[in-house]
Amino acid sequence: MKDFTNWIIYNRGFVEWTAENYCRSLKLFDEYLKKNSLWKKGVNTPEKITLNDVNMFIKLERVKWKTATTCNNYLAWIKAYMKYNAVIWKEVFDYRRILTIREHQKKIDALTDDEAKNLINYFKSVPCETNREELIKTRNLLICRMLVYTGLRVGELSNLKIEDIKEELQIIWKWWIRRVVYLFKDDLDLIDLYLFLRKDNCPYLFVNHSTNYPPKKLSTVSIESIIREWWRKIWIEVFPHKLRHTFATNLLRNWAKLPYIQQLMGHSNIQTTQTYLSVLNTDVRGAQELMTRY
């Protein structure tokens, strides 16, 4: 697994947190093999894994009500693992025979303008009696604003370092390709306030502020947990990728061009960006009214 992780990072150009997701899902497949195949036919090397093992694993996950998207992610990661084994000259089955599940058009789940406004305004009503509470409130507001106004993925947010903060925020996302999103004055002012309130030397922008442990980088799981807490308090369904969707739909509603949105979102294929057009059905008439009539 360690060799495979190094291969997808250094040979395939994936970032570290993506590699971690690959390995986490492959461990699910490994657990399935140990429970269902290992005792039957000794599946303890990649060469003994069959296409039927892969298909039965996915069938079992579908029975557990896993979505087609989730199962296709599992298939992509297993396929990458089998490809890696073929590259290093192991006699594994042809990974190209792994077929993905047909998916319906994805429904884009984003906050409405009112919900986004209520979420941002929620932090104004949070009472603070100590400096630590003020620090945590400022950090959480900054997390919220960064996700809503830059469209960063939660892994990208977690890995931001203080030295990265400039007006042009450069993010390495895939294949060592950099994309740029922009921070404006109110964003930079809030970052300055947060750093002023902090009393630690951790190089990462977002850290935990526990009284029992030294400051360390907030993991993606910790950020997701913080956001779920907002959900319980303001009764608005919110999670990191929903805020990313909100960023994209906000741009679309303000008539930003698709290639610009693709660049800001870091989509390698513009067809991914085009899926956001489905949320603008109510705005189609307005778009047509903008045309020049002769």
Contacts of 194 (CB under 8 A, 6+ apart): 135, 138, 139, 142
Whether the CB-CB separation of 58 and 51 falls below 8 Å is answered with: no
Local structure of 107: helix, strand or coil: coil
Choice among 27, 59, 90, 174 that is catalytic: 174
Asked if 241 is an active-site residue, the reply is yes
Choice among 74, 81, 149, 153 that is catalytic: 153
Retrieve residue 279's tokens.
């949320």
User: How far, CA to CA in Å, does 237 sit from each of 110, 140, 229, 247?
Assistant: 10, 17, 10, 16
Asked if 276 is an active-site residue, the reply is yes
Element (H or E) spanning 179, and its range?
strand 177-182
Retrieve residue 145's tokens.
């604003």
Choice among 145, 242, 245, 267 that is catalytic: 267
Asked if 153 is an active-site residue, the reply is yes
Choice among 74, 81, 84, 276 that is catalytic: 276
Retrieve residue 165's tokens.
């903060």
Query: Angle at the Cα of 110 (from 64 to 257), degrees rounded to 5?
Result: 125
Q: 52: how many CB neighbours lie within 10 A of its CB?
A: 10
- Closest by CA to 23, choosing from 43, 50, 3, is 3
b/e map of 80-100 (b: 16 or more CB within 10 Å)?
A: bbbbbbbeeeeebbebeebee
Whether the CB-CB separation of 221 and 158 falls below 8 Å is answered with: no
Asked if 174 is an active-site residue, the reply is yes
User: How far, CA to CA in Å, does 255 sit from each of 132, 247, 251, 288?
Assistant: 41, 13, 7, 12
Catalytic residues, by residue number, are 153, 174, 241, 244, 267, 276
